[in-house]
Amino acid sequence: MRLILHIGMHKTGSSAIQHVLCRNRWLLRRFGLFYETGGRWPKHTPLFEASSHQNDFGTVHPRHGSVAALLAALPRAGVVVVSAEGLSGPHPGHAAHFDGWSPEVVLVLRDPREWAVAMHAQMVRSRVVRESRTLADWCADPVTQAHLDYAALIDRWQAVGTVRIVPYRRPILR
């Protein structure tokens, strides 16, 4: 099995990629490519949630189980594609769960200034987050800075696999 792991980042067209792959799973399978979502989502939400839970609490996710079990459930033949942009987050445990799997990691990176503006706007609009800080204050936050540390992100994933960096290009609207 060859594992291709698309980890985004957020605000780089991940949802569009996930929807196209999900809608065309039947066609991709005919060519030996298996797009795995882990359930009803167009992305592998259980994998990210299990990883986050294990990283934060040191225990197996109560609903999704362990990252190891989710990975073991993937098809064992062909090319397996998994997409979960949350895995591009700054926690080193995300990459560590894939040690021994040698994934080909696809990382879409956006100009940090453009990413910050787009992500901040999403956080302001979010009914859950309700971000109230200015863009400058939000960007100065150490958590935001950790998300923008692209060198550390690349290093974490290169320790467990091959990283392919794809530059994000804003779509041209006509």
In eight-state DSSP terms, residue 172 is: P
* Residues above pLDDT 70, as percent of the chain: 99
Which pTM was predicted? 0.92
In eight-state DSSP terms, residue 131 is: -
Residue 38: the pLDDT is: 87
Cβ(85)–Cβ(105) under 8 Å?
Answer: no
Interval 77-120: pLDDT, tens: 899 999 999 999 999 999 999 999 999 999 999 999 999 999 99
Report how far residue 110's alpha carbon sits from residue 64's, in angstroms, rounded to the nearest whole number. Answer: 31
| Token output for 167 | 């530059």
The arithmetic mean of pLDDT across residues 33-61, rounded, is 94
